Structure 1
């Protein structure tokens, strides 16, 4: 009976640990909070918490008349207790001075075991009896689970039987023998059956049915508790089996997803690498474009300066053209005066023979005209030189006029020298005057053409000035736009550099993700192996016949 009682305590602790493991899975699945799960276990092992902070022992697990569960943490705090829950009992001693709590925790942390000590019974603090506890550490929450009862509870039923037998023997040996036989059979049969069933359970066979007893003694409680334990184990192993199947499927899916994700991440990594190279090339192209834009801006600035110089030169040409036009107008006037003078000279020469007496005056007049003509010819030569290519014909006329003036001067000198040849000279003069008149007409025509040329030059120069002004305006627009273009290209280059840096960072993140996925895949494979091992262990239990 002592051994059977110890087995009951040990089975009770193992059952409590399995209950904690099952409840903790609900916490991991999010069905319960940790506090709810722990309270549920406390209620199952001991009972509901009363208003006074104590728990009424109402556990379905039968540990004997005075037996109950206790839960400690590793520092001796009463995590669960019928009367002193929340109190630290690390220094608790029994009547012999034994540090019972410390020894219980030490034995539990060493793999589990029994601890015996002397303690007052719950119904009478003055009665000290030997108490036996089985202690073990729960791997999920770190609780030290202790199931204990008094040794006297192991033999209560047997003592009652012995008393009955003694009385029966005194009354009648025969009746006593018969009663003893049937009574012993009644006691031994369920115990033998339970012992056989315990061996089957120890071998992993849960596919057996234990008939519950209607008797209310310890044997009945033992058999009924053992039956409840088998049902609980069946339920627990069934849930574990279903969880193993579900976790196996999830693990396989996780492995497949990890492989697919790895392949996708590698493709994304390659794409990111290509984008990174393109971004670097784009940044390089943007930098070269920026440099070219700066060079273009410098060329535009230089072109603007040249255009301003052309505009200034055009203004000078316009001014020179105005001066040329003024000179041409003067030449026109002088040409008209020359023609008039030549006509008058001709008339004078024609009447020279009649006015010999006035020859001195006429010679003086001719000298004056000759000097004036020479001066005009000189001025005409100067203006023709200024006119450039267009003034060449005019220069020839001016040269001829100058020669004519010189000839006139010589002629008058000859007239002075000799009056006898005046008639001949007059005739020669008349011919020369006719030529001079023609030359004057030609000079006037050339001057007119020169004026028209200067007018055409003025129109062309004004057109050139207008075009230069428009070019200046366009260049100003280019100068204003080139700053915007330069800034835009600079921003593009900056964005390209940032894009290249970001792409490199993304590529690095993809590499890290790949490594993480490899770790997840490895963990999934390890999980699958662990689940396979767990499934083999669960399959050792036979749940059905």
Structure 2
């Protein structure tokens, strides 16, 4: 790794030096390019002036057009102001109209709520009378005498009639109960059991909940059908449900349709407005505002085939609150103003067509448009008048200026205007007077400048020739110095590469020396390992010999066991013979020898078992003997192999010793080589530094020569430019003289 790092450092030094040399070469080439700069300045300037003059002639625009464009800005602002004012007024009128509509509907809601509260309170007053409680809330109506019942029901009827008479908008009343007389303003009779029929109808579903005791409905169809009541006679009905321990019934009060129409007619919003009530049972009471022949707003009943508002999404969202919103019905947009009438379940609303609101705002729009048009016409007229006056005066000036452009400086400007153009006229006359005096002075100066320019031109030609000679000599010196610097650079590069290679060799030698030292240490470790292995091998040989002796001892003991086994077999044979003799004697003895016969049989069995056991032991001893012989043979062979291995380890130890001696000699030689390489590297570094210093001095000399050369070239360029300027001055003086000849002073 150290070798490669040093090699990279050497390559970086070589690359940086090469870049410095290339940079110097580039600077020299840039100095040569400097000689060619600023060659066509005057010709380019002259061409540019001509192009500007032609472009100015093409881009002329009349001042009247410019002023009209300027007047368009306030006109646009006036139009923008009109649009903005119209939008603000429209928004304000929308807001005011919405507030007024909401206020009107809220006021009507108060009147409707008072009407409903009045009817409900009148009904409650009737229910609280003694006559009503004594008759309809009695525990047993059937026990009341007929005369008394007729009297009580008559008084209740009189009370209801009094309510109807005192409240002029009540058209009819109806009272029917489970038990008791039916009271009504209609002459027709209700069928028996009508209460039960009404209680089972959909109209009475809400009263099945004990918490609901009264409600406002739009129609009572079952009652109308049985009594032949025209639905157009009433618009609303108040239903009161009363209950007692043994009786219950209903009181119904109808509100006149004409009164509701009259009440809703008070609200006027404009033609096309739909207003009315939506009752909790889904009945819609609708009126539409229309104009009669005298353009008066009248409210006519408005009938539709299907509900206009009921169950609509916007209606369901507005049931429990008041407010306003814009909704679309049948592709027409309306302002929907709504408010609930207390807690009656009635919704008071108005649908005002948005076109009606827009029609009221259109008047403001027309006035705004007229004012904007008048302001625009006035602005355009003023602009045209001002543009004409200014344009005519400027055209008069332009005619005189054309004469001045052609060289006639005797022109005199005049105007009848008393504004800034009068000042402009005086200024231009003064300018022409100054120009006449200036041209007289310029004519005198041009004659003197001609002589001076000729003298300068001759002097600069001589200086230019001298500087060119100096520049040529400096170029020759620079070429020699550059060649010397290139040779020094090549030598430095070669020495740098040689230095890198020597340092690589030195690093390699160091590595070899280190590896040799490591090899010596490894050999020492190997010798120790072989010595230890040899000692362990000796121990193994001794243990093997001991094992052979012990196995031989075991083999002798096994032979002794065989001898003992033979004795046991002899004893078994004799015991068997003894048992046989004992059996014979027992037979001879008869019955008295039976016990002896049993002993003889047991002894016989013992003899057989001893013989069998002896046979098994013999087999085991034979197997042990065979295994012992094989073990002894293997142990002897292993002892032989271990002795041979011990001899091989001793030979290996000797070889390690010889390798160690050779490596020690190699290390000593490498160290001498390393010392010599260190001296060579030091000498090489000194040589590289010396060549580097020579190269740096050569580069400095080259840079100095190039700077002198560049300075000389700049002087030559300056003198050339001065010469060209002198020649151009002569040309300009001649042109000036020719131009001066055109003017009349």
- Please, what TM-score do these two structures have when normalized by structure 2? 0.25
- Please, what TM-score do these two structures have when normalized by structure 1? 0.33
